């Protein structure tokens, strides 16, 4: 049975309504979001980084984005860490309940978190995306090198701009991963994509399109 997710949202970054085009071409204007509210069903959630009850989904009130907030998504290595702690992953399948006559793509994904990496350690964030029944995108990877003890933010755009079919309901699948390599350091290094106070979240920005009648 699907788990319905409330459309109420906390603070979100505003999604841009324009895509940059070459200077010689006309600016491409993305159609505005559909009228009325939308909802998202969290169909499945699996992975060592998102145990049941540790991830929540919310929709921006202006229908420009949705966010996923984690509370226990952390990878660590070195010190007394177990080898299995060095890699954590999460696989989400969400169903966006789209108003009739509209379809959507994910134009941009913004990831945020915190990392404490010793000198010589590295942290990696990776994500791939696909609609149910369609080919999975090539994973997009971002790397942090120690020493680093601060917040981090990465954004994905390449390969995301694929619209869901107008004539079928398709789940949108998001596969993410955090990995930490301690290198030669004996210190504990970690990288997290979680937030206990809701201030850190992953934002997926919509691009809406009206279907041909």
pLDDT band at 6 (very low <50, low <70, confident <90, very high): very low
* 40 vs 44, higher pLDDT: 44
| Number of folded domains that form the chain | 1
What count of other Cβ atoms lies within 10 Å of the Cβ of residue 26? 7
Domain assignment present for 142: yes
Give residue 88's domain range.
39-104+113-208
pLDDT at 159: 56
pLDDT at 158: 57
By residue count, the chain amounts to 213
pLDDT at 15 over 60: no
d(CA 195, CA 105): 26
pLDDT at 12: 28
Residues paired with residue 149 on neighbouring β-strands, in sequence order: 116
Domain assignment present for 150: yes
- Burial annotation 117-151 (CB, 10 A radius, 16+ → b, else e): bbebbbbbbbbbbbbeeeeebeebeeebebebeee
pLDDT band at 73 (very low <50, low <70, confident <90, very high): very high
Residue-by-residue DSSP string for 85-152: GGEEEEEEEEEEEPPTTEEEEEEEEEEEEEEEE-TT-EEEEEEEEEETTSPPPPPEEEEEESSEEEEE
Tokens of 71: 């509370």
pLDDT in tens, 166-199: 877 889 899 999 999 999 888 999 999 864 344 4
Domain assignment present for 99: yes
d(CA 5, CA 42): 7
Q: Which pTM was predicted?
A: 0.75
Domain assignment present for 8: no
Domain assignment present for 16: no
pLDDT in tens, 140-151: 899 999 999 999
What is the distance of C-alpha 55 from the center of its chain?
12
Domain assignment present for 17: no
Q: What is the chain's mean pLDDT, rounded?
A: 78
pLDDT at 52: 87
Helix (H, G, I), strand (E, B) or coil at 83: helix
Domain assignment present for 28: no
Contacts of 158 (CB under 8 A, 6+ apart): 140
Q: Write the CA distances from 121 to 15, 24, 25, 189, integer angstroms.
A: 34, 45, 44, 7
pLDDT > 90: percent of the chain: 28
pLDDT at 137: 77
Domain assignment present for 23: no
């Amino acid at each position: 049975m699907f788990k319905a997710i409330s459309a109420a949202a906390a603070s979100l970054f505003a999604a841009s309504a324009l895509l940059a085009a070459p200077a010689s071409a006309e600016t491409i204007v993305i159609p505005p979001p559909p009228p009325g509210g939308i909802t998202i069903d969290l169909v499945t959630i699996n992975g060592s980084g998102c145990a049941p009850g540790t991830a929540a989904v919310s929709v921006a009130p202006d229908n420009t984005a949705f966010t996923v907030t984690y509370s226990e998504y952390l990878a660590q290595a070195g010190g007394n860490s177990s080898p299995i702690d060095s890699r954590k992953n999460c696989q989400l399948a969400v169903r966006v309940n789209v108003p009739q006559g509209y379809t959507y793509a994910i134009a941009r994904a913004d990831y945020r978190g915190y990392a404490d990496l010793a000198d010589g350690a590295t942290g990696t964030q990776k994500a791939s995306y696909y609609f149910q029944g369609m080919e999975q995108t090539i994973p997009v990877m971002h790397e942090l090198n120690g020493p680093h003890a601060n917040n981090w933010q990465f954004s994905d755009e390449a390969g995301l701009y694929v619209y869901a079919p107008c004539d079928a309901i398709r789940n949108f699948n998001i596969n993410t991963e955090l990995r930490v390599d301690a290198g030669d350091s004996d210190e504990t290094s970690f990288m997290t994509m979680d937030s206990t106070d809701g201030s850190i979240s992953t934002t997926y920005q919509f691009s809406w399109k009206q279907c041909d009648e």
